[in-house]
Amino acid sequence: MQPIPVAILGATGMVGQRMVEALVHHPFFRVTALTGSERSVDKRYAEAATWRLAGDCPPQLADWIVRPTTPDALPAGTRIAFSALDSAVAGSIEEQFRAAGFAVVSNASNHRMDADVPLVIPEVNPDHLALVDGRRGFIVTNPNCGIIPVAMALAPLQARWPVEAATVATYQAVSGAGYPGESAWDMIGSVHPHAGNEEDKMAVEAQKILGAKDSAAPFAVSARCVRVPVADGHLVAVHVRLKGDPSPEDAKAAMREWTGKAPELPSSPRPLLVVTERRDRPSTRFDVDRGSGMTCTVGRVERCSVMGLKFFALAHNTVRGAAGAAIANGELLAVTGRLG
Amino acid sequence: MQPIPVAILGATGMVGQRMVEALVHHPFFRVTALTGSERSVDKRYAEAATWRLAGDCPPQLADWIVRPTTPDALPAGTRIAFSALDSAVAGSIEEQFRAAGFAVVSNASNHRMDADVPLVIPEVNPDHLALVDGRRGFIVTNPNCGIIPVAMALAPLQARWPVEAATVATYQAVSGAGYPGESAWDMIGSVHPHAGNEEDKMAVEAQKILGAKDSAAPFAVSARCVRVPVADGHLVAVHVRLKGDPSPEDAKAAMREWTGKAPELPSSPRPLLVVTERRDRPSTRFDVDRGSGMTCTVGRVERCSVMGLKFFALAHNTVRGAAGAAIANGELLAVTGRLG
Amino acid sequence: MQPIPVAILGATGMVGQRMVEALVHHPFFRVTALTGSERSVDKRYAEAATWRLAGDCPPQLADWIVRPTTPDALPAGTRIAFSALDSAVAGSIEEQFRAAGFAVVSNASNHRMDADVPLVIPEVNPDHLALVDGRRGFIVTNPNCGIIPVAMALAPLQARWPVEAATVATYQAVSGAGYPGESAWDMIGSVHPHAGNEEDKMAVEAQKILGAKDSAAPFAVSARCVRVPVADGHLVAVHVRLKGDPSPEDAKAAMREWTGKAPELPSSPRPLLVVTERRDRPSTRFDVDRGSGMTCTVGRVERCSVMGLKFFALAHNTVRGAAGAAIANGELLAVTGRLG
Amino acid sequence: MQPIPVAILGATGMVGQRMVEALVHHPFFRVTALTGSERSVDKRYAEAATWRLAGDCPPQLADWIVRPTTPDALPAGTRIAFSALDSAVAGSIEEQFRAAGFAVVSNASNHRMDADVPLVIPEVNPDHLALVDGRRGFIVTNPNCGIIPVAMALAPLQARWPVEAATVATYQAVSGAGYPGESAWDMIGSVHPHAGNEEDKMAVEAQKILGAKDSAAPFAVSARCVRVPVADGHLVAVHVRLKGDPSPEDAKAAMREWTGKAPELPSSPRPLLVVTERRDRPSTRFDVDRGSGMTCTVGRVERCSVMGLKFFALAHNTVRGAAGAAIANGELLAVTGRLG
């Protein structure tokens, strides 16, 4: 396969840096451009983007000049625009790139609920990509970082015992807020409710992902989202009512057997779900990096006296929940021949 | 009122130190003895108990000699034995003190579910104390630190809209595990499910507290308990189904108006519940010390698409949830004439 | 004494809120105005300043309207302008207030090294206030939060064994950066060198405070400043060479006996320095609030094989090191008759 | 090369687990036995040793039966005994293994200062191994985790500008205390002086490592050791006086050029030292894993007004400072033909 030329929109932020980290050596993709806001344009990437991840800015891209975030600023032939843009600006910019014929693979929330935009976790609902069939320019999105462990853990259950309702409480890492994001003053030895609209996003996104490509699943999800002093990794506590009321043992077996619906993808790990029997796990620091951050860890799958079943699930919020999610979606587009 | 002579059983641990801190200057009580395990007996208190709270060991008690935890080791006339004993030993020791005629006011879990032992939050179910009427020796207990913010926030609702079911997720401080308790290695930038049986305790204790003195309330509570890197303060996220399905506004009004059922007590603050309208509160570090740690802070009282109502509540786990809980129970015994 | 009318300049930030907290009930001062930047002017204080400290905005001031930070916006008769202004703007604003005849008592760094501006810790160098004698408008400053525990611990030593040189390493709380200040992403389970010019400030400010009012002390101080994941409280490790090379026992005795040079002030605690013998103290969370945050805790006073003496010292950086420092300076001005 | 059979003594603790992690796939060594204390003997390793590192216990060793820590319990032919024993028991046990003819490669402190025991960082003082030449049974040790970044950063300087004296302040991770080690209660949002004798160890170990194999270097090191709420990674702030007083630029050049004195070893990374120019680095979480935890990161190399030069250095305390240190010493023994 010829390397597919891709650009990273909004490459200077935390999700953008995670994309840079993952794409600098990728079996399918070759980065052609890094874009930024006015403040960053025409600067060296390493200067525009103070590196916020471990180690240093990849030296291969450090000297690249940041380009404006417009379709005509990208080198000819660039096929995918991976969008790590902030939702404050992503809406119209992504539409411009779509209009210009790009496959926009976005982590931003703006277009997730559009009827013609698939909201995809490759292993969960790859068939939703059919929404873009036959188009050259389109937008494909991945879900909010908080719903990803919920959706991944529910996917193998939903296949046999449809979800009827769920209450969810999250333990969300600070990297979910980007950089600088949460103030250290607020997070030292403290937790607090997430002030944004995460709880609403979790409800509607779960319904779209776990539904059919043109009709949302009908269950209710009521979430409480809380920020905790953790760097990376969103843990969720899920209480769920499933049609058929499976036992914890049956639920665990379904999770362990689950291989997902996607074809083989570079970013999709084996196993997808690790189900641990340790009573004190999943624990963020110790489980977040499984499968290079793309495996979801589930634990304490137990009877719930109110809803029937309860469990914990954990996923890396800026890898499986953001940059890696988008890249896996890009891989799925490539493997399914939708970039032709 | 003559000062009432009281002893602190297990005075060297974290809850014992909180009791020392609260009782060294108390309008009702006068400490007569501090007891400890074999390892501590006959040592100076300040030496037996490395001080783990802010500042230093109260100088008034620093030179006291730690006594064995037996009834005959206490000075004659001691009326209340406040028990901060570990549950590994509290069961039979508290029975001995009861048999010896003491009012045992305990924070330990061992006897909480006994039919003849009241499980009391003074402002919530003071009438349960009737279970000990007419006895000289008895045991009175306070609930697990995790259920206290749940029970306090539900109490004013339960009075008008009986609880039908609730799912709960906790964000529990490390001090709940005593000292040394949780390993720092496990808690730096990490959260993990509580490996003990907290979840079960929360269910049955909530039913007993919010029920009548001789019959548990019939609702189900299903909890997920998680330890977070916070020093003091348990935050809970509650999704609850209430008979009559009150609006969030009605629920908040009931909480704000609530003055509890207890007579005036030195440790009972005004207000009992603070209901905040800030979307990022309650936040552990900023709300935990309200009312000297005895006020419970509630926030984000909102519609729940699954259960009807949801909210957050926060209480100080070693004050309102342990040492202060026991002392308030002792005050209630005194004020209601049960120490005669 | 008639209450002295005072204004708080820059009342919406973290230090400003600490000033509000301390001045709302003060035996000497009566707040007449709260000022803010353009963004805040004409808003209610509680709305302009999201409350970042424990509990809620003091209700007495919540509804006050924020005024512009100009001399003519203050009510007539206001005598002191307590400045919690950011150093980005404090320089010229404070000069305007001085020119308008105010006693500007500032926490900002801008004028600290001016020859006609005293840099004062009341108990250490109250005589430096003589620099403003005879003037109606003047500026008085307090030192950088990092140097305060160093200067307070060295003051009683310097009196008998002049400092020759010191190396210092700090463990600085995030509140030193204001709000939002440090990013939580950078501080979760991590420490890093302070990127600003704290190290330089510590050197020159120590020389000015411990010197005579018109000539800096001649010793060298070389500091390393590090931010640690702590909310409040700067710990410092000091290695110091003293003329006369006192023993640790002599040094501790001098520290314990020290009562400072100030007259009695409401904000000046007794003792000024607590010297602990515990090998694991001072520890930030456990010692920071001594003396309502105005006492400095010293520990591990030991022989140093390189410099002669070494010790740790801890002070509350936004109380003793900022808001409380300024207020104590204001009190000293009042008590010494300089506000006449 | 034939794989060299090695045992891990004290394999269940935190350093033991790090050794397991590193040795399960090693180009030189083949694990033959895992030993533990009485409590662990005859149990499956995965059961005796609750896994405390990321992910799970390596499945290849999970079912191994833990053996007693005695020479005759090891399979015949085992050549190296890597010791992760606690210093409470390591002293005499390591002597037994030496007497039985083993190459004991130890992380324990007990024998570090023995005249016939080399204290080695392979890249710094490999020549010290000559102390064991001609013997079959011997002990080789690595230094305390706190001194390792100091010694590595000073090594290239010492070669040209001999160290005259240094003051050091540490910012030490909780993993240095093993498991459970530090109490979470003490470390949430707090720092405190290390209560043990780390400061003394740092002084004498630095002199031995940077000296000749039979004579300690004559400089004084005075350290302050502080525990900070960080999982892995010891940061040190060093103020040093060097003969010849090199400029920061010269010092940095020497550090960057340094390739060490060891032959090529699997665990020895390139580069050994990374010198960063970022003012806010090294930062524990972002720099600790360089070179798989074996690279030391240096920053802020600057003039010191008291000692001449100052800098920060960071190393992974349980990899470069413990398990990896011992394994690299084992590799050096192998490559230099001392296991024949």
Distance from CA of A162 to the nearest CA of B (A): 16
Region B12-16 average pLDDT = 97
Band (B258; pLDDT cuts 50, 70, 90)? very high
CB-nearest to B237 from A224, A280, A286 is: A224
Cα(B147)–Cα(B329) distance, integer angstroms: 16
CB-nearest to B52 from D185, D189, D231 is: D185
The phi and psi torsions of B124 (rounded to 5 degrees) equal -100, -50
Cα(D289)–Cα(D311) distance, integer angstroms: 20
Following DSSP, what letter does each residue of B127-162 receive, concatenated? GGGGGGTT-SSEEEE---TTHHHHHHHHHHHHTTS-
Q: Do C285 and B53 touch (CB under 8 A)?
A: no
Distance from CA of B298 to the nearest CA of A (A): 11
Q: Which residues of D touch A287 (CB under 8 A)?
A: 54-55
> Residue D1: what pLDDT?
75
Mutate to test the interface with B, among C14, C286, C294 (most CBs of B within 10 A): C286
B145 included as an active-site residue: yes
- What is the model's pTM? 0.97
A195 reaches B (C-beta below 8 A): yes
Q: Which residues of B touch D174 (CB under 8 A)?
A: 184-185, 188
Contacts with C268 (C-beta within 8 Å, 6 or more apart), sequence order: C122, C123, C260, C262, C294, C328, C331
Query: CA separation (Å) from D252 to C244, D1, D146?
Result: 37, 38, 21
> Residue A170: what pLDDT?
98
pLDDT digit string, tens, across residues B73-122 = 999 999 999 999 999 999 999 999 999 999 999 999 999 999 999 999 99
Give the single-character DSSP code of C28.
S
pLDDT at B1 over 90: no
Enumerate residues 92 to 151 of chain D having a beta carbon within 8 A of any beta carbon in chain C: none
- Point out the catalytic residue in the list A111, A234, A239, A316: A234
Q: Which residues of C touch A188 (CB under 8 A)?
A: 174, 187, 229-231
The conformational region for residue D134 under phi > 0 = left, psi -120 to 50 = alpha, else beta, is left
B–D: how many Cβ contacts below 8 A? Answer: 64
pLDDT digit string, tens, across residues D230-274 = 999 999 999 999 999 999 999 999 999 999 999 999 999 999 999
Nearest CA in chain A to B233: A190
CB-nearest to A289 from D54, D285, D286 is: D54
Nearest CA in chain A to C181: A183
B26 included as an active-site residue: no
Give the single-character DSSP code of D129.
G
pLDDT at C254 over 80: yes
Using CA of residue C13, residue C15, residue C20, residue C21, what is the dihedral sign? positive
Give the single-character DSSP code of C266.
T
Q: Do C222 and D230 touch (CB under 8 A)?
A: no
pLDDT digit string, tens, across residues C188-243 = 999 999 999 999 999 999 999 999 999 999 999 999 999 999 999 999 999 999 99
Q: Which residues of A touch D53 (CB under 8 A)?
A: 286
Q: Do B286 and C55 touch (CB under 8 A)?
A: yes
Distance from CA of C154 to the nearest CA of B (A): 22
Mutate to test the interface with B, among A192, A277, A286 (most CBs of B within 10 A): A192
Cα(C225)–Cα(C228) distance, integer angstroms: 10
Query: Which chains would you list as touching C if contact means 3+ CB atom pairs under 8 Å?
Result: A, B, D
pLDDT digit string, tens, across residues D163-175 = 999 999 999 999 9
Strands in D220-224's sheet, in edge-to-edge order, are D220-224, D163-171, D234-242, D308-315, D296-304, D273-276
Distance from CA of C230 to the nearest CA of A (A): 6
Cα(B304)–Cα(B221) distance, integer angstroms: 16
Cα(C339)–Cα(C325) distance, integer angstroms: 18
> Residue D103: what pLDDT?
98
pLDDT digit string, tens, across residues A209-218 = 999 999 999 9
| Residue recorded with tokens 């259950």 | A157
Band (B37; pLDDT cuts 50, 70, 90)? very high
pLDDT digit string, tens, across residues B196-253 = 999 999 999 999 999 999 999 999 999 999 999 999 999 999 999 999 999 999 999 9
Nearest to C295 by CA among C100, C194, C152, C171: C152
pLDDT digit string, tens, across residues B265-323 = 999 999 999 999 999 999 999 999 999 999 999 999 999 999 999 999 999 999 999 99
Mutate to test the interface with A, among D52, D283, D286 (most CBs of A within 10 A): D286
Using CA of residue A107, residue A113, residue A117, residue A120, what is the dihedral sign? positive
> Residue C1: what pLDDT?
76
> Residue C255: what pLDDT?
98
CB-nearest to B285 from C231, C276, C286 is: C231
Query: What interface predicted TM-score (ipTM) does this complex get?
Result: 0.96
Q: Is D114 helix (H, G, I), strand (E, B) or coil?
A: coil
> Residue D340: what pLDDT?
82
Rounded (5°) CA angle B259-B262-B266: 95
Q: Which residues of A touch D284 (CB under 8 A)?
A: none
D184 reaches B (C-beta below 8 A): yes
Averaged over successive runs of 10 residues, the pLDDT of chain A (340 residues) comes to: 95 97 97 98 97 97 98 98 97 98 98 98 98 97 97 97 98 97 98 96 97 96 98 98 98 98 97 98 98 98 98 98 98 96
C191 reaches A (C-beta below 8 A): no
Cα(A315)–Cα(A287) distance, integer angstroms: 8
A231 reaches D (C-beta below 8 A): yes
Catalytic residues of C: 145, 234
pLDDT digit string, tens, across residues D2-47 = 999 999 999 999 999 999 999 999 999 999 999 999 999 999 999 9
**How many C-beta atoms surround the C-beta of residue C41 within 10 A?**
15
Distance from CA of D256 to the nearest CA of C (A): 20
Band (B340; pLDDT cuts 50, 70, 90)? confident
- Report CA Rg, chain B: 19
- Point out the catalytic residue in the list B26, B57, B128, B145: B145
> Residue B45: what pLDDT?
98
Pairing of strands A234-242, A308-315: antiparallel
Q: Above pLDDT 70, what percent of chain B?
A: 100
Distance from CA of D185 to the nearest CA of A (A): 11
